[in-house]
Amino acid sequence: MILGLLAAPLEIPRAHAASNLDTNLVLAKKAIENVAPMESLNKPNFENDSLVLAPEGFLSKPLVAETQITVARTTVKPLPKSSVSTKTAVVKVKLANDGRNHFAYGYCTFYVASRRTIPWFGNAGTWLTGARGAGFATGVMPQVNAIIVTSESRWGHVGIVESLNEDGTITISEMNYSGFAHITTRTISTSYGAIKGYIY
């Protein structure tokens, strides 16, 4: 009898806890449905639904098979790396004689300094750096009257761009290319590999 009384109180809280749990689940379900209503918590019934199926075998194909990839193959011709014309023509150019030229007579630097005001010093190969330091604009596109700087000798070489030609070449005038103190002109490609840049 004592055992029966001791056992009975233990069963009541368990039943009470189970009913509280059921109540809590119902309240939680209602709260969720109010926030995001759900049509049904049961498994969907496909018998009454009309489904549109993909064509047979379509979904089993790999994605790559559905895309045709074409690779365009083009042939790129390399730019010429040598001058177009190495023939030189002797020209007569009036050189400035106003005392502003501080380069030695007969060299390419002397010729260019007779055509343009050059405030810097040094061999032709250093002229791009000297020009930038003096505030001159430099670049890789030729312009008429621009100074062309090349690496055609161990000290570099400079000349003046006289014209831009329709065939993608430029004509330059220079001194000491074909002989000491000789002023000549020459036509070269704008993609000539020895060109280091231009001073404007």
Domain-terminating residue out of 12, 35, 66: 66
One domain for residues 140 and 171: yes
Residue 199 CB coordination number (10 Å): 23
pLDDT at 68: 46
One domain for residues 43 and 134: no
Count structural domains, the chain: 2
Residue 127 lies in a domain: yes
Residue 113 lies in a domain: yes
Residue 83 lies in a domain: no
pLDDT at 27: 72
Domain that holds residue 173: 89-199
pLDDT at 100: 76
Q: What is the DSSP string of the chain?
A: -HHHHHHHHHHHHHHHHHHHHHHHHHHHHHHHHHHS--S-SSPP--SSS---PPPTTSTTS-HHHHS-------PPPPPP-S-S----EE---PPP-SS---SPTTSHHHHHHHHS-----S-GGGHHHHHHHTT--EESS--TTPEEEE-SSTT-EEEEEEEE-TTSEEEEEEESSSSTT-EEEEEEETT-TTEEEEE-
Residue 79 lies in a domain: no
Note the pTM of the prediction, 2 decimals: 0.55
Domain-terminating residue out of 51, 66, 81: 66
One domain for residues 116 and 40: no
One domain for residues 131 and 184: yes
CATH number at residue 97: 3.90.1720.10
Domain-terminating residue out of 17, 35, 66: 66
The pLDDT profile of the chain, 200 residues, written as one tens digit per residue, is: 444 444 445 554 554 555 566 677 777 677 666 655 544 445 555 455 554 554 554 444 444 444 444 445 545 444 444 455 555 566 565 565 556 789 999 999 999 999 999 999 999 999 999 999 999 999 999 999 999 999 999 999 999 999 999 999 999 999 999 999 999 999 999 999 999 999 99
One domain for residues 95 and 51: no
One domain for residues 115 and 26: no
Nearest to residue 171, comparing CAs of 102, 83, 44?
Answer: 83
One domain for residues 102 and 34: no
One domain for residues 106 and 195: yes
